[in-house]
Structure formats: structure tokens, C-alpha cells
């Protein structure tokens, strides 16, 4: 009898933890399995994101230092010398790829997004979407909320990409202003359709989707075309490198507010406030400003 009581207590303890962790009232999979999958997906997601953000900002810093070296003049080629883990490293920037093996940085982004979407599906969608609906905000079906959530990721990337490729994308200040207005609009819309917590998380997922799409659909293809031109003996189109660099630059700005949005579920004073859309909008702007200073560091 004692063993039965303990087993029953453990089962209901795990089950009662699901709404707090997954944001749903019930799940279609075993509650304990849900917790283990949640742990695994979150572990992979966080670590992959650390590697992705780390390499992104490392190359941003490296490019800035090389640019400073080039501006300083002199006959010598711009180089950056570094010391780490008992060794000394020197880096130069080339316009064309060499004959040696190239080391690509792409799977960090892919694994971050894949693990993040699996986590989002596990936490928000498997229960039919009921956990991301707040009747006090808008009484809609869970399936409708899921479509809105996924649609936000797709539409966010399409709108961003169209803006970047339009003449507006060539004016940095004007692009930033228009982009911010659209982000505020998306924030207002999501917080008036989904629960505050899930509005924030879907906004972060939208930024993450834009960032990974930049890597796989804009940066990597441009780099591959540059390599192909070199192998074929053709002149490398400098615009390809410029576009890839712009996408990478945008990623460094988006990642700071994305980190806030992904940890916001720990701070109910943000998403739970009646002014949650204003709080998110202000903190996103502060994140962009912080990114500008980080890029200069």
C-alpha cells in the first residue's frame, strides 16, 4: 500500500508540473516522457544557440578589428593577432577562397532552430493549442492559435526578406524605422490574440526564424556562388559578399531581443502586464541599441 501511494503521488506530481512547463492543460503523450523531451530539446536548443551567437559575434568583432587595421594604412596586409589556450593565432581576410578546406559555420543555426521548433511544438502545439489561448485576451480555438503562431513565423520572414531586397533595404536608418514599426505592430497583434506568455515566445521564434533563414537562404547561397565563381575563373560579384554581410549584421541586432523574449517566460511582470506589448516593444528597441554597442566593443 505504501508503494502504491508513493507511485500515485509521483505520477500526479509530474502531471501537475506539465501546465507550468508546457503551458497546456493536457498532453497527448505520457507526462513523464513529455518532461524528458522538454529537457532534451531545451538542452540542445540552449547549447546550440550559445555556439551560434558566439560565432556570430566573434566574426563581427573580427571583421571590425580587420577594418580598423585596413583604415590605419601601411603596406602590410591587415591582420588580427590573438592569444588563446596557450597558442597565438593570426587571421587575415581574403576576397577569394583559397585552395585549402573551408570551415563552414552553419549547423549551429540549424540545430538552434530545429530544437527550438521541436520545443515549441512540444510545449504549445501537442495539446491542441489550448495552452496558448487566454480567453481573457481573445476566446479562440486552440487550432486557430496554432495557425496564427506558425503563420507568424512564415509571414515574419517573408515580410522581412521583401523589405531587405527592396530599395528600402539600402537605407539603413529608414529600414530600421520601418522594421521597428512592423515589429511593434506584430507585438501588439500577438498580445491581443494569444496569451501574453506565448505571444512573447512566438515573437522570439519569429526573430529566430528570420535569423536562421538569413543564414541558410541568403548568407550560405551567396558564399557558395562566390566559391563557384572562383573555381570557374570568373570575377566574384562583390554584391554577394555585401548582401551576406548585411544579413549577418541584421542577425547580430535581432539576437539580443530574441534572448530576452526566450527567457521572458520566467518574468510574469513583462508578459503578464496589461501593457505587455509596450514593455516588449521598449525592450526590443533597447536590445537593438545594446547590440549596436556590443558590435563596437
Could you read off the pLDDT of 269-288 as tens digits, one per residue? 999 999 999 999 999 999 99
Structure confidence at residue 23 (pLDDT): 43
Could you read off the pLDDT of 157-186 as tens digits, one per residue? 999 999 999 999 999 999 999 999 999 999
Q: What does the domain layout of the chain look like in residue ranges?
A: 19-296
Most confident range, picked from 70-74, 80-84, 195-199, 225-229: 195-199
Secondary structure, 3-state, the chain:
CHHHHHHHHHHHHHHHHHHHHHCCCCCCCCHHHHHHHHHHHHHHHHHHHHHHHHHHHHHHHHHHHHHHHHHCCCCCCCCEEEEECCEEEEECCCCCCCCCCCCCCCHHHHHHHHHHHHHHHHHHHCCCCHHHCCCCCCCCCHHHHHHHHHHHHHHHHHHHHHHHHCHHHHCHHHHHHHHHHHHHHHHHHHHCCCCHHHHHHHHHHHHHHHHHHHHHHHHHHHHHHHHHHHHCCCCCCHHHHHHHHHHHHHHHHHHHHHHHHHHHHHCHHHHCCCCHHHHHHHHHHHHHHHHHHHHHC
The structure's pTM equals 0.85
Amino acid at each position: 500500500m505504501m508503494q502504491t501511494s508513493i507511485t500515485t503521488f509521483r505520477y500526479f506530481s509530474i502531471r501537475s508540473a506539465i501546465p507550468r512547463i508546457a503551458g497546456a492543460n493536457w498532453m497527448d503523450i505520457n507526462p513523464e516522457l513529455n518532461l524528458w523531451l522538454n529537457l532534451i530539446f531545451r538542452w540542445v536548443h540552449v547549447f546550440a544557440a550559445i555556439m551560434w551567437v558566439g560565432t556570430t559575434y566573434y566574426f563581427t568583432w573580427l571583421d571590425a578589428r580587420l577594418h580598423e587595421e585596413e583604415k590605419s594604412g601601411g603596406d602590410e596586409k591587415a591582420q588580427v593577432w590573438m592569444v588563446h589556450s596557450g597558442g597565438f593565432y593570426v587571421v587575415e581576410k581574403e576576397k577569394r577562397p583559397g585552395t585549402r578546406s573551408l570551415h563552414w559555420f552553419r549547423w549551429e543555426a540549424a540545430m538552434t532552430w530545429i530544437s527550438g521548433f521541436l520545443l515549441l511544438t512540444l510545449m504549445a502545439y501537442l495539446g491542441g493549442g489550448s495552452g496558448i489561448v487566454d480567453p481573457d485576451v481573445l476566446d479562440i480555438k486552440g487550432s486557430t492559435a496554432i495557425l496564427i503562431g506558425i503563420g507568424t513565423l512564415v509571414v515574419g520572414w517573408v515580410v522581412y526578406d521583401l523589405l531587405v531586397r527592396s530599395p528600402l533595404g539600402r537605407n539603413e536608418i529608414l529600414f530600421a524605422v520601418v522594421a521597428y514599426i512592423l515589429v511593434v505592430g506584430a507585438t501588439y497583434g500577438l498580445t491581443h490574440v494569444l496569451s501574453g506568455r506565448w505571444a512573447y515566445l512566438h515573437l522570439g521564434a519569429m526573430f529566430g526564424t528570420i535569423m536562421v533563414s538569413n543564414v541558410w537562404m541568403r548568407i550560405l547561397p551567396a558564399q557558395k556562388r562566390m566559391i563557384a565563381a572562383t573555381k570557374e575563373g570568373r570575377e566574384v560579384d562583390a554584391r554577394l559578399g555585401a548582401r551576406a554581410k548585411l544579413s549577418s549584421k541584421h542577425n547580430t541586432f535581432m539576437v539580443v531581443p530574441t534572448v530576452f523574449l526566450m527567457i521572458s517566460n520566467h518574468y510574469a511582470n513583462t508578459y503578464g502586464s496589461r501593457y505587455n506589448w509596450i514593455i516588449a516593444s521598449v525592450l526590443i528597441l533597447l536590445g537593438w541599441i545594446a547590440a549596436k554597442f556590443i558590435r563596437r566593443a
